Structure 1
């Protein structure tokens, strides 16, 4: 790779400005000043310094959506040697991290990225990114219980914000409900359902904002599209 291109990719300056920096004797390759244009370097083997500071390539940003199965922890590593979501996402060179978390026994949509700014935006409460879940619960909530859920519940150490809930299907001893919240407290939905006396049997996240699982199979992942990335960055 040409030296000025490498400098530009490292975020030093534009290629044209990088050429000026080279000609000003401000660049060293493997400890030696380089002031001629057209020099090629190997980013993996050569050490490049600008103003006596080593420069490195800016890591390419990666954005992934995973349909997390139950039985995986949403961490990079686990002290109990349980499988983690990173055991599923193979052949990704960049060091990625989960955005927020899903419980060990919860499945569904999980974002992974190496974009720290976006992770902060999506997990900070003030940004209020809506998260949609499908839960199978014991029994069927009545209208009073649904209203309690929608207006906020005391789950022990916290009073939840207003939430959306609707019944999708009723069974003999259980029901399927769709729940939408913008918070992400530990086991929040399970605790909310416990408060209204309809414990969760199974729980799956199907969307974060406009990012949806759709036909992504459990245990599979894909890269976000440019439109999805732009939506998240501007939401």
Structure 2
């Protein structure tokens, strides 16, 4: 006798999130307010579990899980971001099971680069992550072949000519004589390598460590993790950078302060004394 496959029950908030309703926290609020109907009855119990056979509605509209999937992959060095390589080099798709090889990479990391790579079959998500107007940050840990001055980081912030275009960083942070963090909002092809080359530096190691607010966490190289709705929300939000990062604004502010100090020091002492006595008389 043929048995029907058992349906897996999941928490109602997770089910709603998989339907694209919002984060699990937002879905919990909808449940508490009585906006969710399960099999014809209003459900306000956060502990409720459902399967795909249950009839779930928000208001008067039935909601169903999306057929989309998104993962983050910790790409190792030596693999190329393509489904088939004419040079027969190893590709990132060899790290995925057959049922996930239909996913497309969002942007790319070149063969010698490592780190966080988003892969999805959700076209809208891919477009939002890639669109310059969305300004989703990508942060990289860079190691170069020699020590460099802070002037190099200032050049990256103010814009450096790469030979084809002027490339900019949103923020930078020195970690050691040869290592720094760099935050980009746009992604020109091989942008960081070209920026470093323009500053007479060669990149030894390049690792993407963050997209939006999303980081690799403890994900090992060569492994992947499926992203939930909460993760997608994190990815579309940029964190607030702390003061240890340099930005173009901070450079201008520092230079402005230095110019004021220089002006004050260069003022003749007699002028400074006369101004003080004038204030006392008033």
Fold agreement, TM-score > 0.5 = yes
What residue is the counterpart of 2:278 in the other structure?
none
> Is the 8 Å Cα contact of residues 69 and 107 (structure 1) preserved in structure 2?
yes
Q: How many residues align?
A: 176
> Quick one: structure 1 residues 233 and 212, their matched pair in 2 at CA, closer, same or farther if it must change by over 3 Å?
closer
CA spacing shift, 1:232–1:163, aligned 2, 3 Å: closer
User: What is aligned with 1:146?
Assistant: 153
CA offsets, 1:110-147, max 9 Å, x none? 00000011111111222111110011112222122221
Distance between the aligned counterparts of 2:156 and 2:81, measured in 1?
26
**1:40 equivalent in structure 2:** none
- Give the aligned CA root-mean-square deviation in angstroms: 2.2
Aligned to 2:87: 80
User: Which residue in the other structure is 1:99 paired with?
Assistant: 106
Unaligned 5+ segments in structure 2 are 5-63, 239-282
Offset, 1:181:
0.7
Shift of 1:192: 0.5
Which one of 181, 191, 194 corresponds to residue 194 of structure 2?
191
Give matches, 1:114-133, under 5 Å: 114-133=121-140
Q: Is the 8 A contact 1:94 1:114 kept in 2?
A: no
Q: Deviations over 1:18-65 (max 9, x none)?
A: xxxxxxxxxxxxxxxxxxxxxxxxxxxxxxxxxxxxxxx997110100
Answer whether contact 2:145 2:204 (CA < 8 A) is retained.
yes
The answer to whether 1:66 aligns with 2:73 is yes
Normalization by structure 2: what TM-score? Answer: 0.58
Taking a change above 3 Å as real, the CA distance of residues 86 and 155 of structure 1, as seen in their structure-2 partners, is same
1:212 aligns with 2:227: no
Alignment correspondent of 2:119: 112
Secondary structure of 2:72's counterpart equals strand
Runs (4+) off by over 2 Å: 91-94, 230-235
**Which sections of structure 1, spanning at least 5 residues, go unmatched?**
2-56
**Whole-angstrom CA distance in 2 between matches of 1:169 and 1:234:** 28
* Larger helix fraction of residues: 2
Per the alignment, do residues 146 and 161 of structure 1 end up closer, same or farther by CA in structure 2, a change over 3 Å counting?
closer
Deviation, 1:94, is 6.7
Give, in whole Å, the separation in 2 of the partners of 1:167 and 1:112: 30
Residues 232 and 208 (structure 1), Cα distance of their counterparts in 2 relative to 1, 3 Å cut: closer
How far has the Cα of 1:176 moved from its partner?
Answer: 1.4
1:136 to 133, 143, 159: 143
Q: Distance in 1 between matches of 2:224 and 2:123?
A: 20
Aligned with residue 164 of structure 1, among 157, 167, 171: 171
| Counterpart for residue 89 of structure 1 | 96
- Measured at CA, do residues 223 and 80 of structure 1 come closer, stay the same or move farther in structure 2, by a change above 3 Å? same
Contact 1:169 1:176 in 2 (8 A): yes
Contact conserved, 2:212 with 2:236, CA < 8 A, in 1?
Answer: no
How big is the shift at 1:233? 5.8
